[in-house]
Amino acid sequence: MTRSERQLHVQPAPGREGAPTPEPLHPARPTGVARIAVDLLGGDHAPAVVVDGALRACSADPQLHLLLVGPQPVADEIIAMLPDADRSRVTVYDVAGVVGMADPPLRAVRTDTSVRAAAGALADGRVDAVVSAGHSGAAVTAAVHALGRLRGIRRPALTATLPGLSGPVVLLDVGAATEAHASALVQHAVLGTAYARALHGIAAPRVGLLSNGTEPDKGDRARRAAAESLGTGALPGDAAYVGPVEGYDVPLGGPADVIVTDGFTGNVLLKGIEGTYALAGGQEHLTVPRAAALLGVRGTVVICHGRATGADVASGIALAARLHRAGVAAQVAQAVGEGPAASLREVTT
């Protein structure tokens, strides 16, 4: 019986719904002030869900400072709902321009759009991280334009962590770049390895390349070329390339801590897993993340699902704060041979 087979025949534990409970993804972390720019105009249901998410995040984390980037009246609505004592933690960056879900992503180079202005505030050191629930292509464009890419990284990657049976599974790219290129797959393996180490404390991440089988003839051209590079020492430090992994291995985990794929396949798979959980029903501890970190740019950027709820936006803000506090962006930058990113200057507020 192979490893993957064993995993597929998961024996239901005697718990509530007959399924084992994966480890929690967000163990306790050091606190400290985290200054987060929030794009008030990003997402299908902005600004309502962003207002909701910002309020939830403020109430959950007393060390959080928010820069609300969007129209003053929307920001005022949030401030009015906050307890007096919390209002000093919120400031406003009045910007009216929006990049709608149907707009071309390139519109996000305009500094009068909320997503670009939020990324600009990060580039200027006014905040430690930025969160947008908008058009992911627009958020990537704004981040690249305002912050720049890390050295040697051609395509940034959206990075999501799923709860595997025996620990977190870092999946990237889940939607930033839709064409599969071997060089990007290898770069993303390096980024994902540093992320797994910095955020999840996995000292020696095992890296798998998502494919349609584990036999040597499987995979498309990009996958076969990437496998060759990964198999001959492209990964830094103690990371180990474990070879091709399959679709099962993303929700279940087991063979790899970091699973690398192109943004098209990763996006389709993540949403497929999400739909399957919805159909299976009633498994609240089994879920997919609706916020992803953008790796490969010089700073801490979190992009939420375009259909994010208020709770999703709040979890995106919490992820951004956690990434900042754990110094993830600096460690990812170091992994590709750069010093700390601009966004990781000492907080002085």
Q: Write out the residues near a copy of itself by the rule CB under 8 A.
A: 2, 4-5, 7-10, 12, 17-20, 44, 101-102, 104-105, 135-137, 165, 175, 178-180, 210-213, 215-221, 223, 246-252, 261, 263-265, 267-283, 286, 306-307
Q: Look up residue 189 and give its two tokens.
A: 């393996």
| Closer to a copy of itself by Cβ: residue 233 or 281 | 281
| Closer to a copy of itself by Cβ: residue 72 or 178 | 178
**Per-residue DSSP letters for 296-313?**
SBSSEEEEE-TT--HHHH
Least separation in angstroms between CB 218 and a copy of itself: 7
Least separation in angstroms between CB 220 and a copy of itself: 4
Is 66:39 a contact under the CB 8 Å cutoff?
Answer: no
CA 344 to chain centre: 17
Please, where are the H alpha helices in 100-244?
114-123, 136-147, 182-200, 221-231
Least separation in angstroms between CB 50 and a copy of itself: 17
Least separation in angstroms between CB 36 and a copy of itself: 25
Least separation in angstroms between CB 347 and a copy of itself: 35
| Closer to a copy of itself by Cβ: residue 135 or 206 | 135
| Closer to a copy of itself by Cβ: residue 135 or 197 | 135
What phi and psi values does residue 81 have, to the nearest 5 degrees? -90, -10
Least separation in angstroms between CB 175 and a copy of itself: 6
What is the C-alpha separation between 252 and 245, in angstroms, rounded? 11
| Closer to a copy of itself by Cβ: residue 39 or 128 | 39
SS3 state at 131: strand
What is the C-alpha separation between 212 and 220, in angstroms, rounded? 9
What is the C-alpha separation between 331 and 327, in angstroms, rounded? 6
- Respond yes or no on whether the N-terminal peptide bond of residue 112 is cis (omega within 30° of 0): no
Query: What Å distances lie between residue 86 and 13, 61, 63, 144, 145, CA to CA?
Result: 44, 11, 10, 32, 33
| Closer to a copy of itself by Cβ: residue 125 or 247 | 247
Least separation in angstroms between CB 277 and a copy of itself: 6
What is the C-alpha separation between 140 and 310, in angstroms, rounded? 21
| Closer to a copy of itself by Cβ: residue 12 or 83 | 12
What is the spatial order of strands in the sheet that 291-295 belongs to?
90-94, 64-70, 34-39, 129-132, 300-304, 291-295, 157-164, 167-172, 258-260, 206-210, 240-245
| Closer to a copy of itself by Cβ: residue 62 or 231 | 231
Least separation in angstroms between CB 48 and a copy of itself: 12
